[in-house]
Structure 1
Amino acid sequence: MTPGPAHPDPLPPRAGGRKMLDDMGGADAVLARARADVEAGEYRRAAEAPDRALLAEPGHAGIRALLAETCEQLGYGCESAAWRNAYLNAAQELRIGPPGLRMHSTISRETAPALTPAQLFGVLAVRRDGLAAQHESLRIALRLEDLGEDWVLALEHGALTWTPGPARAGAALSLRMDKAALAAAVCGDRSLPDSVEAGEIAAEGDLGALRRLSGWIAAPQPVFNIVEPTPGRDL
């Protein structure tokens, strides 16, 4: 945590950017001051206000162009390759958007069967959309018939956890399946709700809970914004 009484609980980024714009007289005023800093060679200072202003007005072409130019100059002046890459990637994102890359899954049909149930649950957990599920609470009991194992999946405050053993109480849904059905869901071959409909998984209870959980499991995204907020995220 950054020390100082103003830092433990700052305004959210977008609200803070809007407040800064209002205090400085709007986006055009911020642009004019930042341009003066660029002309004076004060690139680090020139990047600060436009970076925050862009959160409030992402479509302002002048601020985008100036911040891209500033990041480019900062990148050219870096000895550190990591810093240089960060600055130049930021400049590229501001000008043409993030690079387009194809996603290659690291979990294949060949590797998934070799993973333990706990490892498969872990893959699902890191893929869950915590913000979308932050206000939800549910418990699902699973029986892996071929392994003779019982597990409980619990979603609380956006975090998905798994515990070995039968559910004592409070499970919205009970599922009976083979490990192969769980591996297929992790690989993306067939979702758990689809496996229920296909008869590969026996379900008892609230199927809506399984559909909600499946809807909160997102595919990994290899490309993401480093300057602007990720689309759809409320900042």
Structure 2
Amino acid sequence: MQQSPVDGLDLVFYNVPHAEAPAELTFAIPSMKAYCGSEIVAHTLHNLYTLRGAKVRDTLKWVGYLDQALDHTQDTEIFFAQHHWPVWGNKNIQKFITVQRDSYKFIHDQTVRMINAGMNGAEIAEAIKFPETLDQELSIHGYYGTLKHNARAVYQYYMGWFDANPANLDSLPPTQVAKEYVELAGGENAMIKLAQKAYTQANYRWAAELLKHVLNYNPNNKQAKDLQIKTFSQLGYMAEASTWRNFYLTGAMELETGAPRKGVSTEMLLEMLEHTPIERFLESMAASLNADRAKDVDMVINLVFSDLNESYQISVKNSVMHFKAVPKAENVHTTLTLTKPFFLKMVTGQSGALDLMFSKETKIDGSRLDLRRFFSLIDKAPGTFPIVTRK
């Protein structure tokens, strides 16, 4: 807790990290009897795991912060947050936060109970149901997060991807599984016929499963595409959660129009990137190293930022890139001196290899060929790959 004056108001800040977000604050304005719940409280069930992809969130830590919020709002009459509408009156605020707290605690505890009973993530997601006392509260309905995928999140947090069934220990990749299932069904047409029957019976989840295999086997099968578009659309229209609906309808759109032709440009993120530490960019570069192209490379280079007074040594060996912040070394293949703004132009694709080699904003001491070779090892993710079909 920290009290600080902001623009004439005394604010009390509470640190709530590593729950909804790695770094987050809630705060109170005692003179107005107001409390901001940031994003740990909302008029919806939040995500313990975000479907877009992220580390699973710590449910018990989140529950603990909500328990603290009940103490922080003992005299509060106005609740507001980063999303949705305010809550008025202390009694309503206390109930609102209590329902949120108990919902996440229920998901956590009941998921763990079922894990201990031998159930896996899919089985738990199918079985878990809120008690009526919670389910009747609209503020914890699954408009964003859902009970099902939050239960899977708790399972993943504690158990990971493996459910202990040895058949799932080294399972075949999707395209190979698809080939075996399609052949087992008697061919693509036979499997589509089964999917059509499931669709007609409104068994959309099973229809989607069957058609997934057909399209992984033959992504150009128009009949399977058309039926999967209808299936995803139905599942999307039925979904309470906007996140689920978006995934279903985006999947249908991909089948109809194809994968994106252009990835998301990082240029729009330039202002944020200006405040990002260099280490984060180097971590990203290391995770973009093409192992096959780097298999015979043994190289050390200096990367010097003249405007930041920072220097990094980058090494590539065993198809792995390491870096560390150290003074500029002498025994290296090459030294690249540049400014962070120019580096950001490179990262966002506004400057290329020719700019790097001949710009007045850069200085290269040593082998230009080695420097060019180093940057050729870094893959740029196109962001145009398909999701619904596999290559």
Give the TM-score of the pair, scaled to structure 2.
0.49
How far off its partner does 1:35 sit? 1.0
How far off its partner does 1:139 sit? 4.0
Cα gap change, 1:170 to 1:193, in 2 (>3 Å): farther
* Identical pairs, percent: 24
Structure 1 unaligned residues grouped into runs of 5+: 230-234
SS in 2 for 1:37: helix
Conserved 8 A contact 2:196-2:227 = yes
Q: Distance in 1 between matches of 2:315 and 2:372?
A: 12
Partner of 2:367: 205
Partner of 1:79: 240
Q: Distance in 1 between matches of 2:224 and 2:319?
A: 35
Cα gap change, 1:55 to 1:146, in 2 (>3 Å): same
Partner of 2:143: none
Corresponding letter in the other structure for 1:76:
Y
SS in 2 for 1:175: strand
Corresponding letter in the other structure for 2:291:
Q
Conserved 8 A contact 1:141-1:167 = yes
Conserved 8 A contact 2:304-2:328 = no
**Aligned residue runs from structure 1 range 13-162, under 5 A:** 13-98=174-259, 103=265, 105-108=267-270, 114-122=275-283, 124-125=284-285, 129=288, 133-135=290-292, 136=294, 138-155=299-316, 161-162=322-323
Conserved 8 A contact 2:308-2:339 = yes
For CA contacts below 8 A with separation 6 or more, give which structure has more relative contact order: 1
Is residue 2:375 matched to residue 1:216? no
Q: How many residues align?
A: 224
SS in 1 for 2:336: strand
How far off its partner does 1:10 sit? 1.3
Cα deviation code 1:100-145 (max 9, x no counterpart): 777462343x6655554334435x538x645xx0332554322334
Conserved 8 A contact 1:193-1:210 = no
Corresponding letter in the other structure for 2:232:
C
Cα gap change, 1:62 to 1:111, in 2 (>3 Å): closer
SS in 2 for 1:105: helix
Larger mean Cα displacement after TM superposition, 16-25 or 165-174 = 165-174
Q: Distance in 1 between matches of 2:242 and 2:340?
A: 44
Cα gap change, 1:169 to 1:57, in 2 (>3 Å): farther
Larger mean Cα displacement after TM superposition, 138-147 or 28-37 = 138-147
Partner of 1:185: 346
Q: Distance in 1 between matches of 2:266 and 2:304?
A: 30
What do you get for the CA RMSD once the two structures are aligned?
Answer: 3.4
Larger mean Cα displacement after TM superposition, 12-21 or 96-105 = 96-105
Cα gap change, 1:120 to 1:41, in 2 (>3 Å): closer
Q: Distance in 1 between matches of 2:330 and 2:213?
A: 48
